[in-house]
Amino acid sequence: MGHDHEDQDDRAHGGAIASAGVPDEDIPATKERYPGTDMTRRTFLVGLGATGAAALLDCNRKSGQKSGHVVQRNVDATPPLPPKPTQDKQPRPAPQPRAVAGRGHVFKATNEHALDHRGRPARQPVERMLDHLMRELVGKSSVQDCWATLFHPDDIVAIKPNAFAGQWCSPSAALMDTIIARLTAVGISPKHIFIWDHWNFSGSPLYNHLRKGPARVATQKQWGYDRTIHRIPSGKWLKFNKLIPRVTAIVNVPVFKDHDLAGVSGAMKNLAFGSIINPASHHPNCCSPSVPDIYNLPILRDKVRLIVADTFRVIYNKGPFGSKSRSYNVPYSSLFATRDPVAMDRIEWDVVDGFRKHKGLPLLMDRGHGPQNVGRPIHILHAGHIGLGESDLSSIKLSTKVMT
């Protein structure tokens, strides 16, 4: 009861978007105001989600009463969650193998011939790229030994892709299938592999593909949120989804894309904002310091065993959605792997700036100054300051392998 006033404040700023069925992890913010109102586009979308959802439910209810039957949604049943941890049985902490490359080490594999006849990443070349990255990251010649160094048969694993941009920039089915196959090869039951993303994950091509596979797949809203309230150093509150306290390991699968508020939406933002009930209230000031402070909470940070970025396409402008004309969605034909989320995001920042410079656009840190202060990746600098990872580009070791 002591948090009611904060819940109300968060709803006023869009914190209830998830429950209203409107996206709040990557809603673009603009200064546009609707005629005769004091509402921004973000506020309008939030209101539309809440009222529209209520109206639709009411309409369905009345229609069902009138026709003498209940209107049901045609959706698949939500897969069951892992068991809730008890005081006597808590998820064990993630191992910290010494052989694994750590802070400031990022590995890249690129293959311009990895696409199939449909123009999508193909399974075989993606497998070879990921297997190479794992050998480099872990330092073992056997791929299975690499995965067995990071994961154990009794693990309960959550995989978080960033599929928010849909077909324009999402992790490929080939990459997700390979990750699942490598996890099961070390003895992890498919029933102990859980994949989630935000509300618009449901019905997406990746969601539909994964639902046919062995892992358990749902949207964050379908599984719901844990009751425990967490606070970051700024004093802001949050609640994680129910998976976070129940799993033992996390695989973070971001993409590289520009973000109109945070500068870039990469490894840290994918997991930090993609795991909580109220990301909208953490967006001010370029999402800083919230993104790294949330990621740095032990319940999240200590469970991340592996970060693999799918960068077969990159959005360098007009993110997080990009453009349906693909004018800002460009091929990059690469995968990255690391255990340092800050180094990964600093590399992403450099890649996005490279495309922006080539196209004559302002660099990320040269936009959004002044009272608005949007679109600048300052959260990456804060992450380095608090010791979450390496944010100094000159101190990051990037190892690149060109494959054919």
pLDDT tens by residue, 86-124: 665 655 655 555 557 788 999 999 999 999 988 899 999
pLDDT of 314 over the 80 cut: yes
Q: Reduced to 3 states, what is the DSSP secondary structure of residue 9?
A: helix
- Read out DSSP for 200-242? GGTTSHHHHHHHTSSSEEEEHHHH-B-S--EE-TTS-EE-BBT
219's CB contacts (< 8 A; 6+ apart) are 196, 197, 198, 199, 201, 202, 207
Cis check for the bond before 121: say yes or no (omega within 30 of 0): no
Which residues are CB-neighbours of 124 under 8 A, at least 6 positions away?
none
> Which SS3 state, helix, strand or coil, does residue 42 take?
helix
Q: Considering only 26-35, 150-159, 214-223, which range has the smallest mean pLDDT?
A: 26-35
pLDDT, tens only, 229-278: 999 999 999 999 999 999 999 999 999 999 999 999 999 999 999 999 99
Contacts of 351-355 with CB under 8 Å at 24 or more apart are: 351/256, 351/311, 351/314, 352/256, 352/257, 352/258, 352/264, 352/314, 352/316, 355/314, 355/316, 355/317, 355/330
What local confidence, expressed as pLDDT, does residue 97 receive?
58
| Rounded distance between C-alpha atoms, residue 364 and residue 357, angstroms | 10
pLDDT digits (tens, 9 = 90+) for 9-29: 333 333 333 333 333 444 333
- Region of poorest pLDDT, from 46-55, 281-290, 292-301, 353-362: 46-55
Return the pLDDT at 52.
38
Q: Is 334 helix (H, G, I), strand (E, B) or coil?
A: strand
Spatial CB neighbours of 67, under 8 Å, sequence gap ≥ 6: none
Q: What is the pLDDT of residue 19?
A: 33
State yes or no: pLDDT of 326 exceeds 80: no
Distance between CA atoms of 5 and 117, rounded to whole angstroms? 55
Q: What is the pLDDT of residue 38?
A: 39
Higher pLDDT, 217 or 100: 217
Neighbouring residues of 378: CB distance < 8 A, sequence distance ≥ 6 = 263, 285, 286, 288
pLDDT for position 92: 61
Q: What is the mean pLDDT of residues 295-321?
A: 95
* pLDDT score, position 99: 53
Alpha helices in 74-219 (DSSP H): 123-138, 143-150, 173-185, 205-211
pLDDT (0 to 100) of residue 46 = 40
| β-bridge partners, 253 | 161
Q: Which residue segments constitute the domains of the chain, with CATH numbers given?
A: 1-74 (no CATH), 92-402 (3.40.50)
Cβ pair 254, 264 in contact under 8 A: no
Please report, as a single letter, which amino acid is at residue 299: I
pLDDT at 316 over 90: yes
Q: Report the alpha-carbon distance of residue 103 to residue 396 in Å, rounded.
A: 8
User: Mean per-residue pLDDT for 130-152?
Assistant: 96
- The answer to whether residue 369 scores a pLDDT higher than 90 is no
